[in-house]
Amino acid sequence: MAASECTRVRLWRWRRSPLRRRSDLVEAWVVLCGWVVALVGGVFGGLLAADAVVASAEQQRAESRKVTAVLVKDAEDPGPSRVTTDHLVWATVRWTDADGTTRTDEARVSPRTQAGSKVEVWTDRDGAVVNEPLSENELLLHSIAGGVLAAAGVGGVVLGCTWTVRLGLERRRLEQWAAEWERMDTPWGWKTG
């Protein structure tokens, strides 16, 4: 059995043809608009997300400051089964704020650090221990990742909506064809299927 040679006709929904239905043209416009909105919306969504990540990191950097704290008691050795990826453990530290208030909180320090040792911690404006602000390289990585994820999310939602509309158009087109076949079969009193 020989394979049939069919030439592929590109953009057939846009060309004038007696076989083209109105729903074909509507579907072509829906797909075109969906792709354009997905691309443009993805770019803008990605840029907005990247700017939001940068603004948040800059705000965190502006509100935090490094202070020298003293370890209250010896930091424990977690043992080989409980070692974290950064090899730090939680320990109680104490420091004095700029206004003279003595504060105590938990901070991540190296294991087996002796009580009375000085450690550097980052605090927010309320005096609570916070993570160290992102470095420039980390900020760049976070903003790129946030932008790419936001762009993919926006594009995915738009293309998903486009796909749903196309399914609705396809269902309607099949219902119209079924109604036309029914109308054609009825006058002669017999069914083709």
Q: Is 104 found in the same domain as 50?
A: no
pLDDT at 79 over 80: no
Tell me the C-alpha distance between 70 and 95, whole Å: 6
| Res 13: pLDDT | 63
C-alpha Rg value of the chain to the nearest Å: 32
Identify the domain containing residue 87 by its residue range: 65-132
* Average pLDDT estimate for 28-57: 95
* Average pLDDT estimate for 8-36: 79
Mind listing the pLDDT tens digit for each residue in 108-137? 888 878 888 888 888 888 888 888 888 999
pLDDT category at 163 given cuts 50, 70, 90 is very high
Residue 37 lies in a domain: yes
Count of the separate structural domains present in the chain: 2
Residue 115 lies in a domain: yes
Total-model pTM: 0.69
Residue 10 lies in a domain: no
| Res 52: pLDDT | 96
Residue 2 lies in a domain: no
Q: How many CB atoms lie within 10 A of CB 134?
A: 19
78-82, 92-96, 108-112: the lowest-pLDDT one: 78-82
94, 143 contact by CB (below 8 A): no
3-state secondary structure of 189: coil
Upper half-sphere CA count for residue 51 (Cβ side, 13 Å): 6
Give the β-pairing of 118-123 and 102-109. unpaired
Residue 54 lies in a domain: yes
Q: Is 73 found in the same domain as 27?
A: no
Q: Is 112 found in the same domain as 148?
A: no
Q: Is 127 found in the same domain as 162?
A: no
